[in-house]
Amino acid sequence: MFQFENFDAFIAMGGHGPYVWGAYGLSLAMMAWLALAPLRRQRVLLATLRQRIQAQGQRGKG
């Protein structure tokens, strides 16, 4: 069962709100970044590689 009387009480966490939400917030944000950053890096890597291949291809033609 839901442990709090209403949503406001949920946010307030009996006075511990800033601590709980602060801890969860930062941790989950960091974890999301940890998972997404490598994806972005891979995309950039492949894009750079593609550009380099195209550049080589054009140099070969010319």
Partner 1 sequence: MWQWFHKLGSPRWFYQISGKFLPWLALASVVLIVTGVVWGLAFAPEDARQGNSFRIIYIHVPASFLALAGYYVMAVAGAVGMIWKMKLADMVMVAAAPLGAALTFIALFTGAVWGKPTWGTYWIWDARITSMLVLLFLYIGIIALSRSFSTRETSARACAILALVGTVNIPIIYKSVDWWYTLHQPATIKLTGAPSMHPDMFKPLLVMILGFYCFYALVLLLNTRTEILLREGRTTWVKELAQPK
**Which residues form the interface with partner 1 (CB under 8 A)?**
1-4, 10, 13-17, 19-20, 22-24, 26-28, 30-31, 34-35, 38-39, 41-42, 45-47, 49-50, 53
Decide: 52 and 58 in contact? Cβ < 8 Å.
no
Token pair 């006075």 in the structure block, residue:
15
Q: Which is nearer to partner 1, 7 or 62 (CB)?
A: 7
Find the shortest distance in angstroms from Cβ 62 to partner 1. 20
> What does the DSSP assignment read for 7-32?
HHHHHHGGGTHHHHHHHHHHHHHHHH
Find the shortest distance in angstroms from Cβ 55 to partner 1. 12
